[in-house]
């Protein structure tokens, strides 16, 4: 609510654009900033809010697209994230995702493991932190899908949607790219190695270590 109040006029104008129909691609941030006479930073914040509200989908290399209107499930998700703190979200990940990694080590297909490798490399090549976070989310979703359990995958998706909504304000959104020695790169490699080698315990521990490092970074940025 604080964010919406601060960028209310821009948010309202962009929200009207979402009425043009699902699948429509919005103009680039630079063009929107010129159109509305505001900074790109204000546009970026308004787009982030609309994405978290489920009205937009931002895809690396493709652009920003309007999503279909929210249903009751989306309304329930909005209520859930209103009652969830960043610490709650990360605690849920720590409970759920190590077990997901363990099961992925058993059921992941060679194609899924190859996809994990591709995403890990793309994260190393990410031009911005925003791109990195988008790719990171795709990797964790792919690991959840690799369990072969649709229910677990759906639960993970809900947790991740809430996590992105309540944690995004503390994520690093600087225009600079992640450093070459960013710790998550090696952590992801170790996790994928364990899954590829079908080592359930090592995959579980690799995911747990990765998430604990993430929690430490998150809590540090809030201090």
Specify the CATH number for the domain of residue 207. 1.20.120.530
Quote the pLDDT of residue 217. 79
pLDDT tier at 73, thresholds 50, 70, 90: low
- Let me know whether 212 and 124 are in one domain: yes
Quote the pLDDT of residue 78. 67
Quote the pLDDT of residue 35. 84
- Name the domain boundary from 46, 66, 86: 66
- Let me know whether 95 and 12 are in one domain: no
Higher confidence at residue 75 or residue 107? 107
- Let me know whether 78 and 31 are in one domain: no
- Let me know whether 107 and 155 are in one domain: yes
Cβ within 8 Å of residue 105, ≥6 positions away = 194, 195, 197, 198, 199, 200, 202, 203
Token reading at 59:
């895809």
- Let me know whether 108 and 47 are in one domain: no
Structural contact between residues 117 and 192, judged by C-beta atoms closer than 8 angstroms: yes
- Name the domain boundary from 19, 37, 66: 66
Quote the pLDDT of residue 3. 37
Q: How many residues in the chain?
A: 223
Residues 144, 149, 154, 155, Cα dihedral to 10°: -80
CATH number of the structural domain spanning residue 34? 1.10.10.10
Q: How far is the C-alpha of 144 from the C-alpha of 172, rounded, in Å? A: 24
Query: Nearest-CA neighbor of 218 among 181, 164, 141, 178?
Result: 164
Quote the pLDDT of residue 99. 98
- Name the domain boundary from 66, 92, 116: 66
- Let me know whether 120 and 46 are in one domain: no
- Let me know whether 31 and 51 are in one domain: yes
Contacts 24+ apart (CB under 8 A), 158-164: 158/77, 158/80, 159/89, 159/92, 159/93, 159/96, 161/77, 161/81, 162/77, 162/80, 162/81, 162/84, 162/89, 162/92, 163/89, 163/90, 163/92, 163/93, 164/52, 164/137
Cβ within 8 Å of residue 152, ≥6 positions away = 100, 103, 144
- Let me know whether 61 and 128 are in one domain: no
- Let me know whether 216 and 133 are in one domain: yes
Instruction: Name which of 19-28, 111-120, 146-155 the model is least confident about.
Output: 19-28
Task: State the residue range of the domain holding 31.
Answer: 2-66
Quote the pLDDT of residue 207. 98
Cβ within 8 Å of residue 7, ≥6 positions away = 42, 45, 46, 49
- Let me know whether 95 and 55 are in one domain: no
Specify the number of domains making up the chain: 2
- Let me know whether 218 and 113 are in one domain: yes
pLDDT tier at 70, thresholds 50, 70, 90: low
Instruction: Name which of 53-57, 71-75, 89-93, 182-186 the model is least confident about.
Output: 71-75
Q: How far is the C-alpha of 7 from the C-alpha of 170, rounded, in Å? A: 18
- Let me know whether 116 and 162 are in one domain: yes
Q: Hey, which residues does 25 pair with through a beta bridge? A: 65
């Amino acid at each position: 609510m604080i964010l919406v109040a601060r960028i209310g006029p821009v948010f309202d104008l962009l929200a009207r654009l979402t009425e043009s129909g699902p699948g429509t691609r919005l103009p680039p941030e630079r063009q929107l900033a010129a159109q509305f006479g505001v900074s790109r930073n204000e546009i970026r914040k308004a787009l982030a809010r609309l994405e978290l509200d489920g009205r937009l989908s931002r895809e690396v290399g493709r652009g920003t697209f309007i999503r279909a209107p929210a249903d009751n499930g989306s309304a329930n998700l909005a209520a859930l994230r209103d009652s969830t703190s960043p610490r709650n979200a990360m605690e849920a990940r720590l409970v759920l995702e190590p077990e997901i990694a363990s099961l992925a080590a058993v059921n992941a297909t060679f194609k899924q493991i190859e996809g994990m490798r591709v995403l890990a490399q793309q994260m190393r090549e990410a031009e911005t932190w925003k791109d990195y976070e988008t790719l990171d989310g795709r990797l964790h979703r792919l690991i959840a899908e690799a369990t072969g359990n649709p229910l677990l995958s759906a639960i993970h998706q809900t947790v991740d949607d809430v996590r992105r909504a309540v944690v995004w304000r503390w994520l690093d959104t600087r225009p600079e790219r992640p450093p070459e020695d960013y710790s998550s790169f090696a952590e992801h490699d170790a996790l994928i190695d364990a899954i590829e080698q079908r080592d359930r315990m090592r995959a579980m521990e690799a995911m747990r270590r990765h998430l604990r490092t993430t929690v430490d970074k998150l809590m540090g940025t809030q201090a």
